[in-house]
Amino acid sequence: MPLPYRRLVVKIGSNVLTQDNGLPDLPRMAHLVDQIVQLKAQGLEVIVVSSGAVAAGRSLITVPAQADAVRSRQLLAAVGQVKLLSTYAELLAKHGLLCAQVLVTKEDFRDRQHYLNMRNCFQELLQQQVIPIVNENDVISVTELMFTDNDELASLIAAQLDADALIILSNVDGIFTGDPRLPDSELIREIAPADTGFEQFITAQRSQFGRGGMLTKCHMAHKVAKLGISVHIANGKTTDILPGVLAGTALSTWFRPSKTASGKKKWLAHAHSAVKATVRVNAGARAALSTPGKAVSLLPVGILGIEGEFKKGDIVQIADEAGLSLGLGIAEYGLDKALERLGHQHQRPLVHYDYLFLNPDLA
């Protein structure tokens, strides 16, 4: 049965765009562009999060084996990003379409106003029928500025743009009940928002050319689905995989979405790097926050203590007595007022439910 999507984020992994020798797979890239053009012709908006800059760099320049790994990656990414985008531009131009380069780092998602400015840019590109090609800015993204991988980046973009679906293209058909290479492993076709335990089937091994692995994809997919966005993990090397996923005929794993979250909650879901302080809560507050289907704000009466300083509008992390993170929220007032009201009843919430994102696994 065809899926009713209007706006899609398509993440294309390194192993999809790269040959076994580490160089770009241009025929496959051309086939993926043909599929994207087909989706555009059907009236869908498509945002592409594409790996492959380092592979493209390898096709242009040789780095000595003894060279520094970080600097080599920066060099290959800087040279290769030009080649990667020019290839996309040439392929799309054959169909009369334009693309735009969007390079980002984690820092770009920390500030709420910067976040909204970036979203406005995306909206204008889509309105003008331009296809955004998004990638991490590997030239300056090192250590703490790096995303886990482009799966995390694609998740952020999907949440930022209120996408209907995120399609993650890997080199396997989806999530299996074991090693995909073994004959007794079965593909898990559907994962509901409340499903748990499927991580036990997943190997933590990373892909040959990318930084991430299936475990990362699974965690990101579950979080995004909790925000009300469908997520499909499928094999980007399969012929006509994108229309097949949308038609419901292709092999893939579908993470079914929960009810749609607000824009603020979608931002908060990925805002760990912007946390200013940690608010520790007692067992009663933890139980109230984790009650399924109940909208609960964080009240001062349930707060045990606060570590760090914050002002009104800052992001705070909420943790239980053992230090386990329960979620993130936007403070309704600053630290001084919070300390005055600590443990008191009948006080205004420190974090209102509308500005509170609780971890999907909280129970």
Annotated binding-site residues read 11, 51, 138, 150
Cβ-in-10-Å burial (0-12, 13-18, 19+) of 252 comes to buried
Q: Kind of pairing, strands 315-319 and 356-358?
A: unpaired
DSSP string, 251-280: -EEEE---SPPPHHHHHHTT-GGGEEEEEE
Which tokens hold the place of 13? 């992994």
CB-CB contact of 57 with 140 (8 Å): no
| Closest alpha carbon to 130 in 191, 46, 26 | 46
Phi/psi at 176 (nearest 5 deg)? -110, 165
Binding-site residue numbers for substrate are 51, 138, 150
Which tokens hold the place of 329? 């929220």
Euclidean distance between the first and the last CA atom of the chain, given in angstroms as a whole number = 33
Residue 67's CB is within 10 A of a number of other CB atoms, namely: 11
Binding-site residue numbers for ATP are 11
CA distance 21 to 246: 31
DSSP H or E segment with residue 306: strand 303-308
Reduced to 3 states (helix: H, G, I; strand: E, B; else coil), residue 125 is: helix
Contacts (Cβ under 8 Å, ≥6 apart) of 276: 308, 309, 310, 311, 314, 315, 316
